[in-house]
Structure 1
Amino acid sequence: MSALPVLESVAEPRPRVSVLLLCFRDADYIRAALDSAFAQTVPCEIIVSNDCSGDGTFEIAEELVAAYRGPHRVHVRKTERNLGVSAHFNDVMALASGEIIVMMAGDDIAYPERVATIVRAFDEHPGATVLGSDFDAIGSHGEPIRVSFRQRPQRYDFDYYVRIGRLIGLLGATMAFRREVYDRFGPLLGPIEDNALSLRGALLGQSLNLRQPLIQYRRHPGSVSGTVFARDEPRALATRRRYERTVQFYRGTADDLEACLRKMPELPRSKRRLAEQVLAMYRIEADAREAILLQPRWRWLGPVLRGLGQRGLRRKSAERALKLLLPRSWFGLR
C-alpha cells in the first residue's frame, strides 16, 4: 500500500502594501485612525507603532488589534524609548515587508479607498517613486477646519524647488513610496521625514501629488506639525522656536540629500546640478535663520549674499537684507 503524498503548506502571500501607522500621544484619536486603517479595501500589512508616549495610546491600540478579525495582517508594538519622528520611522521601516509603504499618523483618518488609489496611481505612473495627496482638514473633534497650506503642485522635481524658491515637499501624513526609496539610501537623516522622502523620490524618479483628498488631516495642539513649527505655542516663544526647529529641519534635510547624492554617481549631470542647487538652498536657509536668531547683524551678511547669488532664494534674501535695518522685535524676535 503506497503512502499518501505529503502536502506542502503554502505560505500566505506577502501583502504588497505595508501601512505604517505611527502614533505618539494619540489616545483621543487612535481608535478612529485604526478603524480607518482596518477599513482599507486592499489587504495590507498594518504596523501600529507607538513612540513610547506613555499616555495610553499603545494600550488602546493593543486592545483594538487583539479584537481585529479581517483581511489585514496587523502588528502592534512600541519603542523602548521616545525616538522622535525620523528615528521612529527608521525603526519601523526595518519591520515592513511591503513593496509599497503607506504612511499614516495616529491622529488622522484615511478614507477607505486610500490604499487602493495609491496602488493604482503607482501602477499608472511607473516612474513615480513617492506619492502624496490632497487632504481634508479637521480639528480636535473632527470638525472641518481650514489650514494655511498652499495647494500642492502635482509634480515635485528639483526644478520646482529652484523655480519657486520654496523648500516645502509633500505632506508627510499623506505620503506613500516604493520601498526602494528607503532601501537605496538607508535610514533618514534629520528630524522630519516628509521633505527628505520627497527629495529622494525626485532623485530616483518622480514625486507626485494626487489631487484627490485621501485623508482627513487633523490639526490640534498636540499634533506633530504643531509641535515642530510651534503653531500652537505662546506668541512670544513661537517665532524663536520655529526658527530653531526650522534650522534643524533644513540642516537634516540637506544632510540626507547630500548623503543620497553621494550614493548616486550615475545621476545625469543636469539633474545633479539642480539637486545641488536645492541642497545649497537648504544650507543657505539654515545658516540665514541661525544667524538672525543668534548672531550679530554683520554675521547675517554671509548667508544674505550667498542667497542673492542663488537662483530660487534671491527675492527672499533681498527681503532678509532689509531686516538688517529693522529691530529684531519687528519680525518677532528679541
Structure 2
Amino acid sequence: MTGRDPTAMQATVLVIAYRMRGTIAQTVASVLAQTVRCQVIVSDDCSGDGTLEAAQQALAGYTGPHEVVVRSTPRNLGLCAHLNDLATLATCDVLVFAAGDDVAYPRRVERLLAEMAAHPEAMVVGSAVDDIDAAGQLLAARARALPVEVDQRWFLRRGRLQTVLGASMAVRRSLLTALPPLQGTVEDNMLSLRAALVGSCRCVQEALMGYRLHGNNLNDWMFDRSEATYATYERRNRRVLAMYRDIAADQERCVAALPQLPQERTQLGLELARMYRLEADMREALLDRPRSQWLRPLWRGLRHPGLRRKSAERALKLLLPRRWFGRT
C-alpha cells in the first residue's frame, strides 16, 4: 500500500505496538486522519496475541494519501531496540511516535512539524496530552506538559528526572541514526537528554493526543505502586535504578561520540549522567547497604540542587526499619 507521491511526505509516523490488539485499530484510524501526508509504519513487536492481524485488518483496502506499511519484528525486541530498528526503515527526517494504545488528534503531526520548522534547533518536540481511560473517557485535560523550551540546565535543576513524554514525541531521525543505538527499556529520558545535548527540547502546550491509562502502560510497570508493601517497593526501585543507569550510560556514550560538541554542553551532559547515576546509587543503598553506607550517597544528593528534596525524604528513612519502606 503506497501513496503516489513519496516526495510530498513530511514525517514518518511510527505506530509502535506490543500486545495492543484491542486498541490498535483506533490508533491506526487516528493516524490515518492526520492532515499532512506521512509515511506510516505500523510495527508490532512480535506480540503473538493478534495485534498484527488487528492492524492488518484496520488497514485492509486503504487507498488514502499516506504511504502505509504494516509489519512485525521477527522476535520481541523491547521498546528501545524496536525504535532503533524502525529508524532505519523511515524515509523522513522527522519521526512521530504513536503508541498502539493512544489516539492522535487530526492536527497532531501538522502542529509538531510546524513547531520544528519554527525552531530548527529543536531535536525533540512533545506536547501536552489528554489522559484517557481504557474506554477512551477523559481523565485529565492538557496533562504532562513541560515548559515550552527546556535545556540541559533545566533538566539538572528540575530534580524529578522528568523529561518529555515519549508517547507525545516528534524527534529528528538523526537522534537515532547519528548517535549510538538506544540500549535499555525506556526511551523518553534518553531521547530528551540527547536532544538537549545537541540542540533543544520543546513542548507544545496544547493537547495533541489522548494518552491511554489502563494499568498495563510501561510507565505503570516501571513505577509500580499497586501494593503498599516492601516487595513492591523493592521491585519498583530495582527497575528504576537499572533504568537510571541505562540513561546515564546512554548520555555518556553520546558525549563520547560527539567530540566536536562545545565544552559547556559536554560538561553539562556528563553532569546529567552523574545525576542519574547518583539517583540510582541512592536507591541501591537503601535496598542493599547497611545504614552506615547510606550517608555518603545521601550527602551527595543533598548537595545536588536537583536531588535535594528526594535526598531529604530518604534521610528520614534512616529512622525506619526496611520492612516499613513502601507502606505509605
Deviations 1:258-317 (A, max 9, x none): 001111222222222222221111000011112212222223223213223333223322
Which 5+ residue runs of structure 2 have no aligned equivalent? none
Who is 1:47 aligned against? 41
Identity %: 45
8 Å contact from structure 1 (residues 14, 98) kept in 2: no
Who is 2:246 aligned against? 252
Q: CA deviation at 1:245?
A: 1.3
Q: CA deviation at 1:214?
A: 0.5
Q: CA deviation at 1:147?
A: 9.1
Matched, 1:227 2:221: yes
Aligned partner of 2:320: which letter?
A: L
8 Å contact from structure 1 (residues 156, 198) kept in 2: no
Who is 1:126 aligned against? 120
2:103 and 2:35 mapped to 1: Cα distance? Answer: 15
Aligned partner of 2:19: which letter?
A: R
8 Å contact from structure 2 (residues 143, 207) kept in 1: no
Matched, 1:278 2:272: yes
Aligned partner of 2:115: which letter?
A: A
1:31 and 1:126 mapped to 2: Cα distance? Answer: 33
8 Å contact from structure 1 (residues 131, 177) kept in 2: yes
Deviations 1:81-125 (A, max 9, x none): 222111121122221111110001000000000011111111111
1:134 and 1:109 mapped to 2: Cα distance? Answer: 13
Q: Which moved more, 1:47-56 or 1:321-330?
A: 321-330
Who is 1:174 aligned against? 168
1:259 and 1:139 mapped to 2: Cα distance? Answer: 37
Aligned partner of 2:57: which letter?
A: E
Secondary structure of the 2:277 match is helix
Aligned partner of 1:121: which letter?
A: E
Deviations 1:238-275 (A, max 9, x none): 32222111112101111110001111222222222222
Aligned partner of 1:159: which letter?
A: R
CA gap 1:308/1:253 in 2 versus in 1, 3 angstroms? same
Q: Which moved more, 1:120-129 or 1:273-282?
A: 273-282
CA gap 1:264/1:216 in 2 versus in 1, 3 angstroms? same
Secondary structure of the 1:135 match is strand
Alignment counterpart, residue 183 of structure 1, candidates 169, 174, 177: 177
- Kindly report the root-mean-square deviation, in angstroms, between the aligned alpha carbons of the 2 structures: 2.1
Q: CA deviation at 1:171?
A: 0.3
Q: Which moved more, 1:268-277 or 1:287-296?
A: 268-277
Aligned partner of 1:67: which letter?
A: G
Secondary structure of the 2:130 match is strand
Who is 2:202 aligned against? 208
Give the alignment of 1:1-334 within 5 angstroms. 12-13=6-7, 15-146=9-140, 151-231=145-225, 233-236=226-229, 237-332=231-326
Aligned partner of 1:325: which letter?
A: L
Q: CA deviation at 1:329?
A: 3.6
Q: CA deviation at 1:34?
A: 0.4
TM-score calculated relative to the size of structure 2: 0.93
Secondary structure of the 1:74 match is strand
Q: CA deviation at 1:20?
A: 0.6
8 Å contact from structure 2 (residues 18, 44) kept in 1: yes
Deviations 1:206-249 (A, max 9, x none): 10111010000000022222222224x34434322221111121
CA gap 1:77/1:150 in 2 versus in 1, 3 angstroms? closer
2:190 and 2:263 mapped to 1: Cα distance? Answer: 21
1:11 and 1:38 mapped to 2: Cα distance? Answer: 16
